[in-house]
Structure 1
Amino acid sequence: MNKTFEFKGSGKSIITIDGNFIRIKRKGFVNFMNHGLDGEKTIDINNLTGIQVKKAGFTSGYIQFIFMGSQESKKGVFAATQDENTVMFVKKEQKMADEIKEYIEGFLANKGKSQVAATISGADEILKYKELLDQGIITEEEFQEKKKQLLGI
């Protein structure tokens, strides 16, 4: 996906999804007060462990990108405004936040599937080499070397 989402309601923030990367750019006075002159932040989607979306209603909503070791905002909207991995939005921008969430969740789900497939194919390769060893086509040393290579040891 290559798409740009512009959130204008609660301080101007622009989220661009460009393949495996999310770029967050903040503009305007509200963002300056909350984040200073941060510039553009680039996040590799592969490093995300999750995404949290708080629906907008009476107060602004937010979309928060969660990493291994990071803390989810459990203190509400006001704490989220200070988090550099969080973008605020208003009710009419909810669909954009939901679209970003769906894309990232799909990306993370597919990432997990490809890792499982790679593990299975590695195990299959080891079994094939074991058969070659049993048939006397390769030596024990060659088998152990290939097994270490496939297991990344």
Structure 2
Amino acid sequence: MRSDILTIYNQYGFLAKANLDGFISTLDDCVTNDEKVTFIAPGKHDSKGIWSITNERIIFIGVNHIPVSFPFSQIQKVERKKPFFGNFKLFFWFNGTEIDMKIDDNKNLMAAFDIVSENCEKQAEIINKHKTGNEKYQDYIQEQEQNTKDELLRFAKDYLDTDEKEIMSIKGYYEAKFLGFDSALDGILIATNKRLFFCGYKTIGIHTESFSYKNISSFEMGEGLTGYTITFYAMENKISMKYIQDKKIKEFVQEVRQRIENSSVTVFSTTNIDTADQIKKFAELRDAGILTDEEFQAKKKQLLGI
């Protein structure tokens, strides 16, 4: 176990550790070498789990053991609210969406507020350096996204064929179902010369899925407050990828749509070639006297669907 995680873990008592034990190993696996863990506490999001804070992001790990990340670069603000009854509540805004950071212990909640606020202030300083134009700030966000994309592309190459090449790729959160729970996997969707390929992070290791262009239909793009969304159907299964911030999203969609269209043309052309070859073979049988001309014409009409 990492020393920073172990130090925080050892500060808890025996009973509190019991609430962390099922999630600590997952946290240990998902944190990168460049990150430093500064906070861990039991809490809730879409299920029971733990909240953790590093120098780069907020992480929630629930009962499905799939980490959900909220990078500080995409958090707009953080607020601590006191309801009429009960303890304080902590909220932050991630890509325009309000997230309720439910932490069981009020002391831990206050500590989390201070840490998140400090990191958000650091991000604000970075943003202020890019105030000469919105495009420069977007470039900063894209640079962070690109680092993740590059890492996942290196992983993806192990799963691609030797003659397969990446044409374009985008990063987002891929909607999937694990152990009966709906989850969003941080990953990339790759358009290759052969297929559409997903590669993303799971609890331990990498999760991949493959979609043949000829089996994809209704490839659609939407735009909302939290970024772009891609939705398509493959073998009657609905596939979605959301929270996409990539500037080249429209080019990616156009590229995939063109390859889907080309795959249907290829299938049609191949069918025509097969039909022509069969007619030619039956013509040779007719010329050899094995088939009569009437039999040949009947077979020809059958193959042509006349």
- TM-score higher than 0.5 here? yes
Of residues 62, 82, 106 in structure 1, which corresponds to 2:258? 106
Cα pair distance change 1:123/1:14, threshold 3 Å: closer
Cα pair distance change 1:123/1:63, threshold 3 Å: same
Aligned length, in residue pairs:
119
Q: C-alpha separation between the residues in 2 aligned to 1:37 and 1:21?
A: 25
Who is 1:76 aligned against?
Answer: none
The question of whether the paired residues in 1 share the 8 Å contact of 2:211 and 2:234 is answered with no
Corresponding letter in the other structure for 2:290 = T
Who is 2:229 aligned against?
Answer: 62
**Does 2:305 match 1:125?**
no
Q: C-alpha separation between the residues in 2 aligned to 1:134 and 1:11?
A: 61
Q: C-alpha separation between the residues in 2 aligned to 1:128 and 1:11?
A: 52
The question of whether the paired residues in 2 share the 8 Å contact of 1:16 and 1:22 is answered with yes
Who is 1:6 aligned against?
Answer: 171
- What is the TM-score when the length of structure 2 is the normalising length? 0.32
- SS in structure 2 of the partner of residue 52 of structure 1: strand
Show structure 1 runs of 4+ deviating over 4 A. none
The structure with more helix, counted as a fraction of residues:
1
Residues 91-111 of structure 1, C-alpha deviations (whole Å, 9 max, x = no match):
x53x43222221221111111
Residues 87-135 of structure 1, C-alpha deviations (whole Å, 9 max, x = no match):
2135x53x43222221221111111111111111122122222322222
Who is 1:41 aligned against?
Answer: 208
Corresponding letter in the other structure for 1:48 = I
- Percent of aligned pairs with the same amino acid: 13
The structure with more strand, counted as a fraction of residues:
2
- What is the TM-score when the length of structure 1 is the normalising length? 0.57
The question of whether the paired residues in 1 share the 8 Å contact of 2:228 and 2:243 is answered with yes
Which sections of structure 2, spanning at least 5 residues, go unmatched? 1-164, 174-183
What is the root-mean-square deviation of aligned Cα atoms in Å?
Answer: 3.4
Which sections of structure 1, spanning at least 5 residues, go unmatched? 72-84
